[in-house]
Structures are given as C-alpha cells and as structure tokens.
Amino acid sequence: MALTNNDIMKKLRVAHKLTNDDIVKICALVDFRVSKSELGAIFRSENHPKYKNCGDQFLRNFLNGLVIHLRGPMEKNKKESE
C-alpha cells in the first residue's frame, strides 16, 4: 500500500505541527497561492464528498516552500554576485 500525496501532506502537517495558516504562508514563500478551503479539501477523508486529491504540483511547491521555511532562503554564491 503506497502513500498518496494527501497522506504525505497529513504526515508533514503533524510532524511539523503546522496549521492551515502556516501552510498558506509556506506556499506563499514560493509564490504558490492556496486557500484554506483547498487545504480543508485535501485533509478530508477520502470518503467525504468534498475530498480533493493533492496533486504533484501542489506537493512539490509545498516541499520547496518548507525547505525555505526551515532553512531560510538560499544564499547566492560569491561568484554570482560579482
């Protein structure tokens, strides 16, 4: 039994103790807009009529934002700035 993107999002939310507001802010770090209602649909049970599959693009953008949130923005190389 493989994990779905929704399962991964749920596990990351619990592991990092994130609220829906936190997730919206993390997605904003990579210029990816998401609403709280979309998040609610992603975190619902699969049997719920308003359930929504978490797509690869959503998960990818969230993970990129989470890296920035945890590590901070990537520093530029000295060679690039010269």
Write down the pLDDT at residue 72: 81
Q: What's the predicted TM-score (pTM) here?
A: 0.82
Write down the pLDDT at residue 24: 95
Structure tokens at 76: 């530029």
The alpha carbon torsion through 28, 69, 59, 19 (nearest 10 deg) reads: -80
Per-residue pLDDT of the chain (82 residues; tens, 9 = 90+): 789 999 999 999 999 999 999 999 999 999 999 999 999 999 999 999 999 999 999 999 999 999 999 988 777 766 655 5
Structure tokens at 71: 């590590």
